[in-house]
Amino acid sequence: MPGPSAEPDRFSDVQASAEFGELRRAQRSFAFPLTLAFIAWYLLYVLLSNYAGDFMDTAVVGHVNVAFVLGLGQFLTTFLIAWWYSRHAAAELDPRAEALRARLEGGE
């Protein structure tokens, strides 16, 4: 059994591996663009709320106005992004992470 000083080497080896780099790239290439898009969408909503009051007050159906519809859209996109990321993680990230974990725990 390797001593305590060998443990950090195993973690460093996995972190330096090409597989770990691919895992990080797969996560970042999905998460960063969606995060930026959602922040832009949120800031658009805030800016419209602050500077385009007449537009946001436009009635869509009855007492439901554009601001309400866009506000609900914020919640909808939050849940859609979470669902989409969950599917992406299950299909792309989790198998790669599991392979790395197995390699690390197996001491290969």
Quick check: is 7 in a domain? Answer: no
pTM over 0.85: no
pLDDT, tens digit, 9 for 90 and up, residues 21-35: 999 999 999 999 999
**Across the strands, what pairs with 64?**
61
**3 belongs to a structural domain:** no
How many domains are contained in the chain?
1
**Per DSSP, what are the bridge partners of residue 51?**
none
In a domain, residue 4? The reply is no
Question: What distance in Å separates the CA atoms of residue 70 and residue 76, rounded to the nearest whole number?
Answer: 10
Domain ranges, residue 96: 13-106
* Start-to-end CA span in the chain (Å): 13
Distance CA 54, CA 49 (A): 9
Separation between Cα atoms, residue 94 and residue 86, nearest integer Å: 10
Residue length, the chain?
108
The answer to whether residue 63 is domain-embedded is: yes
Q: Looking at residue 90, what is its pLDDT? A: 97
Q: Is residue 30 part of a domain?
A: yes
Beta-strand ranges (E) seen in the chain are: 59-61, 64-65
Instruction: Please report, rounded to a whole number, the percentage of residues in the chain having pLDDT higher than 70.
Output: 92
- DSSP letter assigned to residue 52: -
Q: Which three-class secondary structure state does DSSP give residue 59? A: strand
